[in-house]
Structure 1
Amino acid sequence: MVNQFDEFSVVPAVTTTPLPASAIGISTDARLQYLFDNTPAIIYSSVPTGDFKMTFVSNNALHVLGYHPDEMVADPNFWFEHIHPSDVPEIFSSIAKLFTEGERAYEYRFMSRSGQYVWMHDMLRLIRDKDGNPVEVVGSLTDITKRKEMEAALFKKGEEQHLLIKKLQEAHEQLLQSEKMASVGQLAAGIAHEINNPIGFINSNIGSLQNYVEKLFEVINQYEDLIQHQSPPAAVSKMDELKEKADLEFLKEDIQDLVRESMDGLKRVKEIVQSLKDFSHVGETDWQEADLHQGIDSTLNIVKNEIKYKANVVKEYGQVPLVKCIISQVNQVVMNLLVNASHAIKENGMIKISTGCEKDMAWIRVLDTGSGIPQENLNRIFEPFFTTKPIGSGTGLGLSLSYGIIKKHGGRIDVQSVVGKGTCFTVWLPLYQTKASTES
């Protein structure tokens, strides 16, 4: 095979100084040699066979890798023997594509004369003759070590940032949970009162039922004694007397009322406990299609005692499909709005909760007839730790975290307020979530 670069392989290396003016008339071969030796890339050629023996290497290989071109050409296995062992399999597995595609590019580590590996970018091109037969492979090797070092540094920085973001997310989740628990803690007295009421009358009812059961068993025992020892006419007469004395008709009616009332009380306790469980669920981060109305009702069970002595709650639920969200976090937002509304009402007010759907957005509106928010505070209500409540009455994080939760869901919170008339918060939530948003 005739190599078009063979005549250059014996040309001595030249310096990288500019060509003098007197060299304008130099030959084309010398000009090409000068370009080869002074380009940043090492220009080479090899045979188009499996061993890829080098047939030409530009003289700047000495500056880039420390090898003289002659020794690289003399050793038929020079190229493969100096590639990092970990990079060889990837090159071997795809080098055959050079003969079908005509071009290939690789990035691999190549051992320099100093024994250190240098990252190289290798562009290979297959040269064919006029009949389409492979003649040789021409390539250019460029030192990309600095670029690789920068990429490694950026990757490390990216990993550090990813770890930092993960820690921030964990801290945010802990903050959400802490605020949730703080809210429940502030409502604990009211929740205990809501539970104690049904527990109290259930306890009283159980005492009455115990007395009733004792009377019934006493009557039954006396009935059995009469049946065994007296004649039927006398027994019947005596039974009527016992029945009237024990007031069985009253016992029958009252037992039914006591059982029904106790069952209602137990149901109320169960609802409150379930609402607390749903609201305070630790680590709930699952996106799911949820019923917003069920979530609002569950939250109302928790804040009921906080509201009922101040305001009448009016519910106006519209037609809202299931919404893709983290329902426990949405419930936390609703609770914050309801508690704030109750705190804004001194007495005899109203809190109206309404819902609806517009296009691809669901909305929850909490309107109160409270004192309203002054204009100078309206622009600050979503700031962390901003609060107008007395010390110890709030963390100042409720609305800030609520804003973050809804923003995470791809929604928004609108607020309108008139001092002396009341405030209206509207939470907007997209019905659907993209895969990217749920993974963030």
Structure 2
Amino acid sequence: MEAKANTLQLKYLNELAKFYAEQRQFEKAYSYNSNFIAQTKSLDSANSQLKISPYEIERNDLQQLDSINVLKQRQAVQAATIKQDNIMLWISLAALLIISVSLSFVYRQYRTNKKTLESLRKTQQQLVLAEKMASLGELTAGIAHEIQNPLNFINNFSEVNKELLTEMDEEIQKGNFEGVKLLAKDVISNQEKINHHGKRADAIVKSMLQHSRKSTGQKELIDVNEMCEEYLRLAYHGLRAKDKSFNAKFETNLDPTAGKVNIIAQDVGRVILNLINNAFYAVNEKKNSNSVSNYEPEVTIGTKKINSDVVITVRDNGTGIKQEVIDKIFQPFFTTKPTGLGTGLGLSLSYDIVKAHGGEIKVESIVGEGTTFTIKLPS
């Protein structure tokens, strides 16, 4: 209605301007025409504003829509972030739960393994003690034989001295001092022999105690030749005491320059004794098998100084060892002896003892011909 009224007003002004122009009233015609033009411009401006406003509104609407879309995108991103954070939180909680359960299992397993290890260590100590006592048992008979010999000499010379002293008393009563002097010389000579064999028995007892007592772990300088010779005799007589029918030739091939080695005497002595016992066992098995006619069992222990090392060899002409057995011979609990005759720890412990001394132990063998064990120790 407003637009129509404006149109009629403009038409009215335009007609008045034309009318006064025809009447030659130019001032009024000019006035109405100016008013017409002004109204037309005003109306055009209003119409222009009316045309611009929808555009502005549409643009504002688009801007608001963009803002809304941006806000929605931000909200979507925030929602996705929150969702991802929640997922990570649940994953972390699940991982923490798994780790807790795993740690609990590992801890229980650790305690179980620790108890098992302690039990194994105790069992190992018992087995080592059993092996040690077994070797001591094998020594006992040999030690008894070795002690018996000097004791026999001591007893015999004591009896002789008793008789000589009785004779001396008789000669003194007779006043035969020359005879007393001769008898005194014999008594002194016998007394020296008694002293010698007494020291021998004392050395044997000390050796036995040294072998049987708990190792202190302290190294000391030991004459390697004396140790090898002594254990060879003890092992032989020990086997003879258990089996009266056994007989074997045993020899020593000792290097005078071998000297002393810095070792734990109880431990290395146990190694040597074990190797000698094994050698005597091998030759005895071969002899009892009757596989070779005119067979003479023989065990030899030798020493040799090579540069800064001392090499000890234990050689026998027994049954020999198969190659597949040699590959396992130093493994714990491996033995070729019948049940009850070996713990399977002798060579394993020997290997560990030699290694602990910075040395090495090797074995060479030919089936049917014999075996040689070689120990190399730094001097």
- Interval of TM-score (by shorter of Structure 1 and Structure 2): 0.5 to 0.7
> Which stretches in structure 1 are left out of the alignment for 5+ residues?
1-21, 43-59, 65-141, 223-237, 432-440
Provide the C-alpha distance between the structure 1 equivalents of 2:274 and 2:167, rounded to a whole number of angstroms.
52
Q: Which AA in structure 2 matches 1:335? A: L
Match of 2:177 among 220, 230, 243: 243
CA RMSD of aligned residues (A): 4.0
Of 7, 26, 33, the residue aligned with 2:75 is 26
User: Per-residue CA shift, 1:136-160, capped at 9, x if unaligned?
Assistant: xxxxxx9845424433432332233
Q: Distance in 2 between matches of 1:304 and 1:158?
A: 50
Q: Is the 8 A contact 2:223 2:259 kept in 1?
A: no
How far apart are residue 204 of structure 1 and its match? Answer: 1.7
1:297 to 226, 230, 244: 226
Partner of 2:125: 173
Residue 334 and residue 36 in structure 1: after superposition, are their counterparts in 2 closer, same or farther (change >3 A)? same
**Distance change in 2, residues 1:212/1:387 (3 Å):** same
Deviation track 1:300-345 (CA, whole Å, cap 9, x = no partner) reads 424414448621112226477535xx54333212111122233445
**What residue number does 1:415 align with?**
363
Q: How does 1:153-302 map to 2 (within 5 A)?
A: 153-217=105-169, 222=173, 239=175, 242-244=176-178, 247-282=179-214, 284=215, 286-291=216-221, 293-294=223-224, 297-298=226-227, 300-302=229-231
Task: Provide closer, same or farther for how the CA distance between residues 148 and 394 of structure 1 changes in structure 2, counting only shifts above 3 A.
Answer: closer
Q: Which residue of 1 aligns with 2:335?
A: 386
Higher helix share: 2
Q: Could you tell me how far 1:161 is from its partner in structure 2?
A: 1.8
With a CA cutoff of 8 Å and minimum separation of 6, indicate the structure with the bigger relative contact order.
Answer: 2
The Cα of 1:411 is off from its aligned counterpart by 5.7
Q: Does 1:426 align with 2:340?
A: no
Counterpart contact for 1:337–1:366, Cα < 8 Å: no
TM-score when normalising by structure 1: 0.53
Could you say which residue in structure 2 is the equivalent of 1:129?
A: none
Q: Deviations over 1:19-49 (max 9, x none)?
A: xxx975537665654554443289xxxxxxx
Q: Could you say if the C-alpha distance between residues 364 and 198 of structure 1 is closer, same or farther in structure 2, counting changes exceeding 3 Å?
A: same
Separation of aligned partners in 2, 1:260 and 1:287: 37
Q: Which moved more, 1:265-274 or 1:314-323?
A: 314-323
CA-CA distance at 1:278 after TM superposition:
1.2
Q: Give the 3 Å change call, closer, same or farther, for CA 420–251 of structure 1 in structure 2.
A: farther
CA contact (8 A) 2:328 2:334 kept: no
2:253 is the counterpart of 1:314: yes
Contact kept in structure 2, 1:351 and 1:368, CA below 8 Å: yes
Could you tell me which amino acid in structure 2 is paired with residue 181 of structure 1?
Answer: M
Q: Please state if 1:375 is matched with 2:375.
A: no
Q: TM-score w.r.t. structure 2 length?
A: 0.60
Q: Is the 8 A contact 1:415 1:424 kept in 2?
A: yes
Is the 1:275–1:299 contact (alpha carbons within 8 Å) kept by the matching residues of 2? Answer: no
Aligned residue identity for 1:253: K
**CA distance, structure 2, for counterparts of residue 154 and residue 393 of structure 1:** 42
Indicate if the aligned counterparts of 1:355 and 1:365 stay in contact, CA closer than 8 A: yes
**Is this contact kept in 1: 2:235–2:273, CA < 8 A?**
no
Question: What SS class does the counterpart of residue 364 from structure 2 fall into?
Answer: strand
Counterparts of 2:369 and 2:281 in 1: how far apart (Å)?
14
- Give 5+ residue unaligned stretches, structure 2: 1-70, 238-247, 284-294
**Amino acid of the structure 1 residue aligned with 2:193:** E
State the aligned residue count: 285
Q: After alignment, is 334-343 or 142-151 more displaced?
A: 142-151
Q: Cα deviations across residues 110-151 of structure 1 (Å, max 9, x unaligned)?
A: xxxxxxxxxxxxxxxxxxxxxxxxxxxxxxxx9845424433
Cα deviation, residue 363, structure 1: 5.8
In the aligned structure 1, how far is the partner of 2:123 from the partner of 2:132?
14
